[in-house]
Amino acid sequence: MPHIHEKIDFTAEVFVVYGNKVLLRKHDKYKIWLSVGGHIELNEDPNQAAIREVKEEVGLNITLSGKIPKFREEGDDYKELIPPISMNRHRINPTHEHITLVFFAKSDTDRIKTSKEEVSEECKWFNKAEIDSGSYEIKESIKYYAKMALER
């Protein structure tokens, strides 16, 4: 999806776990291993974006990890959301930044179904040893969250 705003976009990043492995995808443009995710669209909340992005990019149905606080009865005008594990702000290019909400999720299958619209060079389920092996170009922040997701 193209950028929604000129200077800063909000994105959702999801570390999906199945068994003792976490899913990463090799980004087609940047050629590095990242989690699944993308832009939060104007008509959705961060939880909806996280679930949609995983479904669009790898065809998995997921359950977001985390607790939803219950303060009162929910209705059409109020909904508690699963909070992100973390948030960060990073530069995409000299004129554009992303504020990313990081989520953990579980899948009940490891069968990935990529769509023709969502291009990734490769998707792989990584165990902790593979993440730490140095055989793959994985940024330290991605390693950190991937291993944290596996520990939950």
Nearest to 15 by CA among 56, 81, 62, 48: 62
Q: What is the pLDDT of residues 110-121, one digit of tens each?
A: 999 987 666 566
Instruction: Identify the domain containing residue 144 by its residue range.
Output: 8-151
Q: Is residue 81 part of a domain?
A: yes
Q: Quick check: is 1 in a domain? A: no
Tokens of 35: 């989690």
- Residue 66: pLDDT over 70: yes
Q: What is the pLDDT of residues 33-62, one digit of tens each?
A: 999 999 999 999 999 999 999 999 999 999
pLDDT value of position 117: 67
> Taking residues 64-75, what's their average pLDDT?
80
| CATH number of 89's domain | 3.90.79.10
Chain mean pLDDT for the chain: 92
pLDDT value at position 2?
60
Q: How many structural domains are present in the chain? A: 1
Summarised one tens digit per residue, pLDDT across range 77-104 is 888 899 999 999 999 999 999 999 999 9
pLDDT of residue 3 exceeding 70: no
Cα torsion 138, 14, 24, 100: sign: negative
* Number of H-type helices and E-type strands within the chain: 3, 8
pLDDT for the residue 33: 97
